[in-house]
């Protein structure tokens, strides 16, 4: 079923914007960020992405969104950018965030990071496949 769900949802995907770091699209109230291959996210890039994301959410016409961040092709993210993205101010419009991570090492590190970050205002979870992330977000939507 998850493969069908992924195909159905992504067939309704609407492209919003793109820059050198990420391409943003949405399906209803789910915003999907596909980070570019080999991109390096530092604090300056994080602030550019934040402005793009906030504009995208305004364009979607919703106040809060579910987020799927496909970081499977991203090369790296600096500690400063990670801290910036995890601040309460950066997450105030998010209902939940799913991360799609390709390599096992990055997946394990992300699980560790998610568990170590206290007082999360929203659920976060890492996945190895896009269909798993979509299924989790859909389940959250149905049960909320």
Residues of the chain with confidence (pLDDT) below 70: 1-10, 117-120
pLDDT tens per residue, range 33-72: 999 999 999 999 999 999 999 999 999 999 999 999 999 9
**Where do the domains of the chain lie?**
2-139
- Domain 2-139: CATH architecture, name and number where available: 2-Layer Sandwich (3.30)
pTM of the predicted protein model: 0.86
User: How confident is the model at residue 119, as a pLDDT?
Assistant: 66
User: How confident is the model at residue 140, as a pLDDT?
Assistant: 93
Task: With H, G, I as helix, E, B as strand and everything else as coil, classify residue 72.
Answer: coil
Angle of the 2-11 helix axis to the 130-142 helix axis, nearest 10? 80
Q: Of the candidates 78, 33, 36, 39, which has an alpha carbon nearest to the alpha carbon of residue 53?
A: 33
Q: Of the candidates 78, 100, 89, 80, which has an alpha carbon nearest to the alpha carbon of residue 54?
A: 89
């Amino acid at each position: 079923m998850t493969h069908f769900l992924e195909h159905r949802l992504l067939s309704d995907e609407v492209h919003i914007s793109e820059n050198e770091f990420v391409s943003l699209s949405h399906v209803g109230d789910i915003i999907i960020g596909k980070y570019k291959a080999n991109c390096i996210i530092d604090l300056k890039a994080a602030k550019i992405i934040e402005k793009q994301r906030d504009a995208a959410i305004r364009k979607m016409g919703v106040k809060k969104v579910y987020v799927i961040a496909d970081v499977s092709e991203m090369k790296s993210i600096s500690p400063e950018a990670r801290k910036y993205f995890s601040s309460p101010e950066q997450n105030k419009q998010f209902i939940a965030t799913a991360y799609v991570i390709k390599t096992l090492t990055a997946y394990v590190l992300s699980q560790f990071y998610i568990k170590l970050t206290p007082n999360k205002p929203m659920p976060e979870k890492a996945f190895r496949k896009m269909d798993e992330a979509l299924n989790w977000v859909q389940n959250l939507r149905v049960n909320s």
